[in-house]
Structure 1
Amino acid sequence: MKRFATLMLAFALVLGAISGAQAATIKAKGQWAFDFSWLDSGDFTSQDDDGNSDDDFSASQRFRTQVDVIASEALKGVVFFEVGTTVWGRTDGALGTDGKSVEVRRSYIDWIVPNTDVKVRMGLQGLSLPGAVAPSSMVFDDDVAGLTVSYAINDNVGVTALWARPVDASGNEGSDNNTYDEVDMFALVVPVTLDGFKITPYGAYASVGKDANFTGVTNGGAEFLSGMLSMTEFANGAIDSSSSTYDAWWGGAAFEMTYFAPFSLKMDAVYGSKTADDDAESAERSGWIVAALAEYKLDMVTPGILAWYGSGEDDDLDNGSERMPSVSPTGWGVTSFGYPGSVYRQDTYFGLNGAGTWAVGLQLADISFMENLSHVFRLVYMKGTNDADVIKNNAGVRDAFTPGNTYVFLTDEDSAIEVNFDTTYKIYENLSLVVEMGWIKLDMDEDTWADQDFSDAKKLVFNFVYDF
């Protein structure tokens, strides 16, 4: 009798689970991406000059899928998996495969506060501060654990508040080494939409502990450090441990105008500052970036002018840094080679935003002379706004910023030209072939960089992208 009762109870639990599952609607979407790439002198040095040979070709793939578990219009859960990037012939892409590179990039719930229009999202999610020139922020755009609350005041004005925790290096607060090991970030965004205009002002604040250097964190650490460290700290490879905590804040706005269509204008402007609690002036960092994209849409092409200016370093290491700090602006894709604008291979040769550089470029987008085939052409000239003496007079800083060690640090005596020609052909409605061709000519001052030789970087990439 007890066995029968146990079986009936198990049967009831199974039926309950099935019933519960049927109460939710499950939807899935995602992307398979394949990359066949040829890359030459990716670090701007030619190995042939050293008597070595380049390994230029590689093939890889990546799978991303998002699963929505929808209970009602007021409640749903989302989980976002990524498999890869898997390089063919290496590790889990080698003979026998059996890859274990499955990542949970996002896992959150969306819900509406009962009897209100307040929307809440909590969990591992993709967060970005506003951006117009590129659909991403120059300060912060990444996956992170956090809480977002948004409310539409009326048809024209909304408000979003967020709290994110990019890092908590240790849950044990019992030693001095991890008392200040967290980063907490808060932001307020107020989008205002009018007829033909949209402006989104925002403010953000981050509390950065001196031990929050992402030690042991596999993702995001490099972006965080490169965006927060002063020149002195960058040369040392870590946040200055003489200060207990740091404060960082940003204020900016994204602006879009389509009122005079087919002419459109997009602009971003942001100022940021990082200060140290213990008056460690050499560890401070502050600066600003302004970017703009003006376009005029024609039937078969959309010509545009792209430009930006970011404040740069002076020649004094002791007074801190003059480039704008950032947390993780991983999607500022103004180009598809030097910046992360590729559909797959997210190259970042010049950093993750325009800090320390100015640029002007010509862009021809939406070039189309036949159905299902389109092109984008860019020609961008970049020059540094950093004083060359900060490199000439500090060998440790020069070694830290030499191309090949990190992203390219352009001084006011250095420049670069980047050319992109990218083609998209829709093989099927959901399958596209994207061919990306890029060339970067780097002109670095010999006196500044101790007579080092730099080569042109070139790429040819065939991307197959299946969206479902």
Structure 2
Amino acid sequence: MQRALIALALALCVLLPQAARAETEVRMTGDARIHANFFLMQNFTGWNYNGRQTMDALTIWERFRLRTDFAASENLAFRLGVRVNNTPWGSGTFTVDNPQVSLEVYQAYLRFIWPGTRVKITAGLQNTDLPVSSGYFNANPVLGGTRSAALTVAAPLMGDALSLVAGYSRLIDTNRDMDPTTTQVADEFDLFFLTLPVALDGVSFTPWTAFGLAGNAVNWQTQTGGPGLDDTLGAGVLSSGYRAAPQGWRNDRNPFLWVGAALSVDALDPWRFNADIIAGQGAWNDRAKSLRGGLFADAAVEYRGFDFAVPKASAWWSTGEDGSTRNGSERLPVLVDSWGPGNTFLFNSGQELSNATLGINPIGTWGVSFTLDQMSFLPKLTHRATFAYVRGLNSLRAVMDGFALWGVCSYFQMGRDLIEGQSVMAVTLDHSYVIQDNLRLVAETGWAHGEFSKPGFCRRHVHQALSGDPWKVSVGVVYRF
């Protein structure tokens, strides 16, 4: 009898987990892309940001992403996303004979509905974006197109007309769980955010706010994009005067506050209007040189009355640096920027094929763009054409002072942070052909011309930029499943 009970217990130990697993639905989605970039005069010079390296004109890139949802029900699931991220052929994972493994986790979060309610809770490494009015601008210029470890709660307040989204994210914890001394070190950067999406017939309006608390021991060299100081989190958050004597912050921790609103109107169909306005400020209770605060606004209009294309136009404006670093910075503090109108390759924004943009910083500029979108003259083939013009609003004096504090073409970079009198124009042409279901051939082309002749601003770089204009051709295949 005892042996029978033991056998039954062993059988239950084997069968019950299998039964539980059978109740979990596994859903897998993903994408793969392989593309070649032919890109001349990157950074308007063909060099890296500080002019110490020459960039290859031809590179071949590959990316693979796999997202797996383990769903116990419609109210409970866990997502795991892994990727081989934008690695060029001949390096890393794609090196012959002795490759380095570069598989990484880029999503890992639990999501569930609180029982008896419509409140959705998501915790873990997830997409983290502040609101933007339109996909034409791709993402919010303060925080968009990125992921972070976060907790978010989304709750309807008045049916589908009004809802609330609140969240918390730990952006950086430099020393992890153990500080290097027996005294607590302020090495964290935390962000709290709140949005109130309002959806009415023909109008949507989303006011939002975000509050950050940053410690003076945070490692600001955390990368947010490519190589160089200009691509670190600190370059978007800190003032230029941060490195002026006495270096660093006076306070142990400093607050950052952003407020904004996103507006979309399609009640006047076929006309559609979109606009965003953002104000942000940080370290206002520290030394005057540490203050960073500014404004950003954009607006766009599109007309959907034509069959052959959708014309769109936009304009934007942002405060730029004045002539002094002693009173802080007048540029909007930015965490991770993926803003850009009409897919223009001037900005790192919505390009489908990566690693082929000029990476201009929209903060401290004004500009306009014009797009003909969704053009189609043959079955399965679509086109998009965009012209963009951007002009700098930053003082030359502030940039020169920044060179003295941070290094030449470092915190400020020629071609990325435009000063008064500098301008860039660009034409971008994108094409997409459906080879078969889920598989497309994509081509992105672009040309740009910059006017940088300004005394004292990276003279060697300016001279190199006069030797030719940047242009690119990116061609590849994209598979989604």
TM-score, normalised to structure 2, is 0.88
3-state DSSP class of the match of 1:282? helix
1:147 aligns with 2:160: no
Q: Report the Cα offset of residue 307 of structure 1.
A: 1.0
Alignment counterpart, residue 327 of structure 1, candidates 335, 341, 344:
335
Which residue in 1 is equivalent to 2:105? 104
CA distance in 2, matches of 1:304, 1:281: 41
Equivalent of residue 175 in structure 1, options 181, 187, 194: 181
In the alignment, which residue of structure 1 is the partner of 2:77? 76
Shift of 1:395: 4.2
CA RMSD of aligned residues (A): 2.9
- 8 Å CA contact 2:122–2:151 kept in 1: the answer is yes
Cα distance in 1 for residues equivalent to 2:6 and 2:33: 48
Q: Matches of 1:317 and 1:403 in 2, distance apart?
A: 13
Instruction: Indicate conservation of the 8 Å contact 2:391/2:420, yes or no.
Output: yes
CA shift at 1:65, angstroms? Answer: 1.3
Rounded Cα–Cα distance in structure 1 between residues aligned with 2:99 and 2:55 = 29
Q: Which residue of 1 aligns with 2:354?
A: 345
Q: Cα gap change, 1:173/1:375 in structure 2, threshold over 3 Å: closer, same or farther?
A: same
Given that residues 42 and 55 in structure 2 are in contact (C-alpha distance below 8 angstroms), is that contact kept between their aligned partners in structure 1? no
Aligned equivalent of 1:158: 163
The equivalent residue for 1:187 is 193
AA partner of residue 38 (structure 2): W
Match of 2:56? 55
SS at match of 1:43: helix
Matched residues, percent identical?
A: 26
Please report how far the alpha carbon of residue 336 of structure 1 lies from its aligned counterpart in structure 2 after TM superposition.
Answer: 3.7
Match of 2:40 in 1: 40
SS at match of 2:358: coil
1:465 aligns with 2:481: no
Where do 1:55-454 residues align within 5 Å? Answer: 55-96=56-97, 98-133=99-134, 134-141=137-144, 142-153=146-157, 154-170=159-175, 171-173=177-179, 175=181, 179-214=185-220, 217=222, 222-233=231-242, 240-277=248-285, 279-297=286-304, 298-330=306-338, 332=340, 334-340=342-348, 341-346=350-355, 349-351=358-360, 354-392=362-400, 395-396=403-404, 399-401=407-409, 408-449=416-457, 451=459, 452-453=462-463, 454=465
In structure 2, the CA distance between the partners of 1:282 and 1:235, relative to structure 1 (3 Å rule), is closer
In 1, the alpha carbon distance for the partners of 2:264 and 2:357 equals 26
Per-residue CA deviation, residues 203-240 of structure 1 (Å, 9 max, x unaligned), is 1100011111245x56679442221021233789x982
C-alpha displacement of 1:6: 8.2
Give 1:62 deviation, angstroms. 0.5
Residue 398 of structure 1: how far off its partner (Å): 8.4
Seen in structure 2, the aligned counterparts of structure 1 residues 283 and 94 have a Cα distance that, compared at 3 Å, is same
Shift of 1:316: 0.4
Q: How far did 1:430 drift?
A: 0.5
Unaligned residue ranges in structure 2 (runs of 5+): none
TM-score, normalising length from structure 1?
0.91
CA contact (8 A) 2:92 2:101 kept: no
Q: CA deviation at 1:408?
A: 1.1
| C-alpha separation in 1, matches of 2:61 and 2:247 | 35
CA deviations over 1:298-319 (Å, ceiling 9, x no partner) = 1011111121101100000100
- 2:243 and 2:425 map into 1 onto residues whose CA distance is 26
* Structure 2 CA distance for aligned equivalents of residues 88 and 7 of structure 1: 55
Unaligned stretches of 5+ residues in structure 1: none
